[in-house]
Chains A and B, each alone.
Chain A
Amino acid sequence: MYLPLFQYIAGLNVWVPIIGESFELVNETTLIIHLRPEAKWSDGEPITAEDVVYTFELSKEVGSGPAAGSEPYIGDVKAIDPHTVQFTIGPENNLPMFLLYALQFAPAPKHIIEQVHQKVGNQIIEWRNCGGTCDDVISTDSGDVTINVPQVVSGPYKLYYFDELRIVYERIDDWWGKDIFGLPSPKYVVHRIYLSNEQALLDLRQGNVDWSGIFIPNVGNFKDIGTFYKGKPYFRPGAFVVLYFNHREPVLQDPNLRKAIAYAINYQEVLTKAFYDYSPQPSMSLVFTVFPHYRTWLNTTLAQEYLGNPEGKMPYDPERAKQILAQAGYKDVDGDGFLETPSGEKIELNIIIPTGWTDWMIAADLIAHNLQEIGLNVVANPVDYGQYWGMINGAGYTLALGWTNSPSFYHPWDTYRYVLDPRLTPPTANWGFYNNSKALELLVEAAKAKSSEELMKYYTEIQKLIYEDVPVIPIAYSVQWYAYSEKYWTGWPNQDNPWWTEVAPYREYSLPLWLLFGLSKKGEPVSPPQWAKPKDEGGILIPNKEVLSQLSGAFVPEVNITETFTTSSTSETETQPQPQAPASSSRFIVGILGIVIAVVVIVIGARKLSK
């Protein structure tokens, strides 16, 4: 486990200084990060600026690892002294993304990775070393190479054993951070891999498992399971579940239709029947209003004006939906009970969802039903998960339930980018192939905002665009699945003990392992770690507003935007990147089938002759 320099915690809106101790944005292009002098690798070597620089350079060179994809944002990284690193901004001049990459950079041990690099060259893929617990074999172009290096990590646990069904970590008792963070309580952490949710749930209820991240329907019925909130919604939100439109589908290019669909959905019913009331209704603005620190970015006046409530929640109003459609000229021409477009074309939509995701299947079904009520021909269409992705990537769908990213320190910009940026395509972002030059312009501008007032101006514009154009419809918050058993351990973070909020065991960076720092064996007193408080309350956590104020304090000169915008928003432009699709050709498939048929014929013929 390689720890990052700093880690942003969305639920608390703070940064944890982990290997990094402090940072300052010197000017609009330079960030200085000071590393903790006490930080050491598990083999006793100090973690230095050299490690950071080396990791960055190598990762960029081989195109994988922590610096992958950072080219537009980070120009270069220099070691000023053993414990000071200087990051310089990349060509995009995008400060938020620059900070996100630089601050959350996770260095790898140079003295170990160097050996690996020597052996396999640029075939380095896994930035891990599991010395002895696994046979680290990397297949290169010149055959398989066994990497035989000791396991060296920066985190408090090391890999101890693993097989198909379990991964075991062992605590490093003389971990460098023990004087700052203390040590996590459990000596061993066993990560169990289940083949089914039912089995996992049973084990959690019996206390065979202490901490779990599985989908649990109707968790309120299980008295033996602890969750973050005692009552509804039980879980903390993780991201949005949204209804995506395929904007390449001609029928769906009419904002009136999209708006009507938004009004026609009975959100409350969907949340209760499909999502077990685990989530309040999200704001149409795509702002994560559940957390107060993000709520400030929602323009309440605008929301009131457009949607009739300051929270920006989409009202359920089927009459209004019908009205919008009628005014736009949608009517039932051929008498089949379903509306046709103003130009008389049939509308046939279906909502794809991965089969087996029961809550999503119910939701899609309810939404389809709502839309039938306003005269649209819509059905829910559960497809195999592989096919679901195939359809979304190939723009071969009409409607889909999907997700967005989790909020970062620069929310809602990140979410706006995820759903609106025409430069992106699925599966990384922009599932709906939304292509609106105005949105792109606003995104680029917002990333350059110098003050929160200016930022708010752009956010207001974007929110207005969303209300008017309805590029996507937020349906619910997706849930961070987090449940625990108090049979052996107590002190789990929850609403009464909210010292730690990123609690789902599957979040990236093995980050939630921090919650282990607050656990106690059953019967012992519970006390959350002292460091886990914001600086002004005696802890070490850096409030996000410090970062934001450094951002707005950064003097940003006028930057000429070199982006060129296409003026038409509906027509297809060549600027849309095509995802790199694996080669496929139907001719080849036909050829193969031909060969197969020929062989079969020969076999049958041979049988006949040999009789």
Chain B
Amino acid sequence: MRPIYKYLLIKLSFLLATYFVAVTIAFVLPRIAPGNPVQQIVAGLSQGSLSPELLDQYQKRLVEEFGLNKPLYVQYLEFLKNAFSGDLGTSISSYRQPVTQLIAWHLPWTLLLLVPATLVAWTIGNYLGARAAYRRGTLFEKTVVSTGIILSQIPYYWMAMVLIYVFAIKLGWLPSGSAYDPTLAPSLNWEFIKSYLRHYILPFLSIALVSTGGWIIGMRVLAAMELGSTYVKFSEMLNVDGEIIFRYVLRNSLLPQVTGIAIQLGTVMAGQIITEQLFNYQGMGILLARALGSRDYPMIQGIFLILIGTLLLANFIVEFIYVLIDPRIRLGARE
């Protein structure tokens, strides 16, 4: 077996094991928390003038329908079967809609925010970090690095609140929430796209700014190490043009940052889930909040499966790319 395949095989088995652990936790956690979805639906109805008997029957009915009265290990086995086959069941709290359908509706909004924000932050952060490392001791470096440190330590939600306060409430330049003007229906016409972009700016900034900070810090350290390496010193002696050296340094220190994307994605996703709630951005964050609040087991499980699956897959792809771009891994796997 060629080393590269062996390497990927090991990675793949880790991926499956991690997935299994993660989905198990997703199954257990909501059930450990007090409360269950059916009680809440019934409790809400009991405010009206419906009779207690009717509500009782309704409750029994729901418990049976969603199999909540089956022994837990049966529920768990069913869930595992579904988790590896892609059937996520039906939501309890939203009128029995299939969970997949709900996720399909919410996920694009999240990805449209997450992916560009991450890529933009990665690009800008790395460039600035490398520049700062290259121009050691200048005012530029001090500014960039201190800004980076401050930004990277700000929690996503705090950044979101500050942005909402300044740009939406104080200045009134931008809308304070939702993904588009709710009077419009999502469609590909100019009016809708304009509205979407206006609503896009603040959530995008709150995620991108914070993660840019992180990339700056990481890159500066990597580039500084690279600058100490022999080939850089040698080129400097030869009086090679600084820009050319910078390009080499940038390229060589970017390698570890590629893996960094995969590691970062999880953090950003977690941050974004809260950010979305602050902005009422109808992505997975809102859906998850709703699911958690109503203890909608199938929906919580489904969301976690999708999120974890996406992250693991992203990780795996990044590892794969890494193998392609870094010869050290390809050859190192031979040892």
Chain A positions near chain B (C-beta within 8 angstroms): 8, 10, 63-64, 68-73, 97, 100-101, 125-126, 137, 139, 163-165, 192, 194-196, 198-199, 203, 208, 238-239, 384-394, 396, 403, 405-408, 414, 417-418, 421, 424, 426-429, 478, 507-508, 579-585, 588-589, 591-593, 595-596, 599-600, 602-603, 606-607, 610
With CB as the reference atom, state the residue of chain A lying closest to B30. A386
A125, B17: Cβ atoms under 8 Å? no
Cα(A239)–Cα(B44), bound, Å: 13
With CB as the reference atom, state the residue of chain B lying closest to A203. B182
> Is B71 an interface residue when CB atoms closer than 8 A count as contact?
yes
> Is B43 an interface residue when CB atoms closer than 8 A count as contact?
yes
B17, A427: Cβ atoms under 8 Å? no
Given A69-B57, A390-B39, A580-B69, A406 contacting B49 (CB threshold 8 A): yes
Cα(A275)–Cα(B185), bound, Å: 36
Cα(A102)–Cα(B42), bound, Å: 22
List 15 A-B pairs, Cβ < 8 Å.
A69-B51, A69-B53, A126-B96, A163-B105, A195-B178, A386-B35, A403-B46, A427-B55, A428-B42, A429-B55, A580-B60, A585-B71, A588-B72, A591-B73, A603-B18
A428, B65: Cβ atoms under 8 Å? no
> Is B5 an interface residue when CB atoms closer than 8 A count as contact?
no
A579, B20: Cβ atoms under 8 Å? no
Q: Mark B6-41, 1 if CB is under 8 A from A, else 0.
A: 000010011001101100110110011111101110
A386, B34: Cβ atoms under 8 Å? yes
Which of A192, A507, A596 has the most B CB atoms < 10 Å from its CB?
Answer: A596
A405, B70: Cβ atoms under 8 Å? no
One of B208-216, B252-260, B290-298 at the interface? B290-298
Cα(A60)–Cα(B165), bound, Å: 55
A125, B49: Cβ atoms under 8 Å? no
Other-chain contact of B59, A386, A388, A579 (Cβ < 8 Å) = A579
With CB as the reference atom, state the residue of chain B lying closest to A585. B72
Other-chain contact of B33, A71, A163, A386, A393 (Cβ < 8 Å) = A386
A593, B28: Cβ atoms under 8 Å? yes
With CB as the reference atom, state the residue of chain B lying closest to A239. B47
6 A-B pairs with least C-beta separation: A390-B34, A390-B35, A69-B53, A69-B54, A386-B35, A582-B68
B25, A385: Cβ atoms under 8 Å? no
Cα(A137)–Cα(B97), bound, Å: 9
Cα(A37)–Cα(B50), bound, Å: 28
Cα(A113)–Cα(B28), bound, Å: 39
B21, A600: Cβ atoms under 8 Å? yes
A192, B52: Cβ atoms under 8 Å? no
Cα(A198)–Cα(B105), bound, Å: 23
B63, A580: Cβ atoms under 8 Å? yes
* Cβ–Cβ < 8 Å partners of B63 in chain A: 580, 582
Cα(A363)–Cα(B49), bound, Å: 25
With CB as the reference atom, state the residue of chain B lying closest to A165. B182
A68, B178: Cβ atoms under 8 Å? no
Cα(A403)–Cα(B49), bound, Å: 12
* Cβ–Cβ < 8 Å partners of B46 in chain A: 403, 405, 418, 427-429
Cα(A418)–Cα(B54), bound, Å: 13
* Cβ–Cβ < 8 Å partners of A126 in chain B: 95-96
B96, A389: Cβ atoms under 8 Å? no
Q: Mark B85-119, 1 if CB is under 8 A from A, else 0.
A: 00000100001101000100110000000000000
> Is B195 an interface residue when CB atoms closer than 8 A count as contact?
no
Given A164-B282, A583-B72, A387 contacting B35 (CB threshold 8 A): yes
Given A68-B54, A428-B55, A596-B21, A389 contacting B40 (CB threshold 8 A): yes
* Cβ–Cβ < 8 Å partners of B228 in chain A: none
* Cβ–Cβ < 8 Å partners of B36 in chain A: 386, 389-390, 581-582
A199, B69: Cβ atoms under 8 Å? no
Other-chain contact of A199, B17, B96, B182 (Cβ < 8 Å) = B182
Other-chain contact of A583, B27, B52, B71, B286 (Cβ < 8 Å) = B71
A195, B286: Cβ atoms under 8 Å? yes
* Cβ–Cβ < 8 Å partners of A427 in chain B: 39-40, 42-43, 46, 55, 59
A69, B56: Cβ atoms under 8 Å? yes
Number of inter-chain CB pairs below 8 Å:
199
* Cβ–Cβ < 8 Å partners of A73 in chain B: 51, 53
A405, B286: Cβ atoms under 8 Å? no
Given A164-B282, A386-B294, A68 contacting B57 (CB threshold 8 A): yes
Smallest CB separation, A191 vs chain B (Å): 13
With CB as the reference atom, state the residue of chain A lying closest to B20. A599
* Cβ–Cβ < 8 Å partners of B39 in chain A: 389-390, 393, 426-427, 579
Cα(A194)–Cα(B286), bound, Å: 11
Other-chain contact of A63, B33, B60, B96, B292 (Cβ < 8 Å) = B60
B17, A602: Cβ atoms under 8 Å? yes
Other-chain contact of B182, A71, A139, A192 (Cβ < 8 Å) = A192
Other-chain contact of A196, B13, B21, B57, B280 (Cβ < 8 Å) = B280
> Is B48 an interface residue when CB atoms closer than 8 A count as contact?
yes
A385, B293: Cβ atoms under 8 Å? yes
Which of B13, B36, B65 has the most A CB atoms < 10 Å from its CB?
Answer: B36
> Is B84 an interface residue when CB atoms closer than 8 A count as contact?
no
B43, A596: Cβ atoms under 8 Å? no
* Cβ–Cβ < 8 Å partners of B76 in chain A: 588, 592
Q: Mark B171-196, 1 if CB is under 8 A from A, else 0.
A: 00000111000110000000000000
Other-chain contact of B52, A396, A429, A600 (Cβ < 8 Å) = A429
A389, B43: Cβ atoms under 8 Å? yes
Other-chain contact of B282, A10, A195, A203, A414 (Cβ < 8 Å) = A195
B50, A508: Cβ atoms under 8 Å? yes
Other-chain contact of B10, A71, A97, A610 (Cβ < 8 Å) = A610
B32, A406: Cβ atoms under 8 Å? no
* Cβ–Cβ < 8 Å partners of B56 in chain A: 69, 424, 428
* Cβ–Cβ < 8 Å partners of A589 in chain B: 28, 31-32, 72
Smallest CB separation, B185 vs chain A (Å): 8
Cα(A68)–Cα(B53), bound, Å: 8
Given A192-B182, A393-B39, A428-B42, A584 contacting B51 (CB threshold 8 A): no
Cα(A580)–Cα(B60), bound, Å: 7
A403, B21: Cβ atoms under 8 Å? no
* Cβ–Cβ < 8 Å partners of B231 in chain A: none
With CB as the reference atom, state the residue of chain A lying closest to B297. A582
Smallest CB separation, A101 vs chain B (Å): 7
Cα(A100)–Cα(B52), bound, Å: 12
With CB as the reference atom, state the residue of chain B lying closest to A391. B34
Cα(A195)–Cα(B199), bound, Å: 15
A208, B183: Cβ atoms under 8 Å? yes
Smallest CB separation, B190 vs chain A (Å): 21
Given A164-B105, A428-B59, A385 contacting B54 (CB threshold 8 A): no
* Cβ–Cβ < 8 Å partners of B10 in chain A: 606, 610
A596, B25: Cβ atoms under 8 Å? yes
With CB as the reference atom, state the residue of chain B lying closest to A62. B61
With CB as the reference atom, state the residue of chain B lying closest to A600. B21
Given contacts A69-B51, A387-B33, A424-B52, 12 further A-B contacts (CB under 8 A): A64-B58, A68-B58, A69-B54, A100-B49, A385-B294, A389-B40, A394-B34, A588-B71, A589-B32, A592-B76, A596-B21, A599-B21
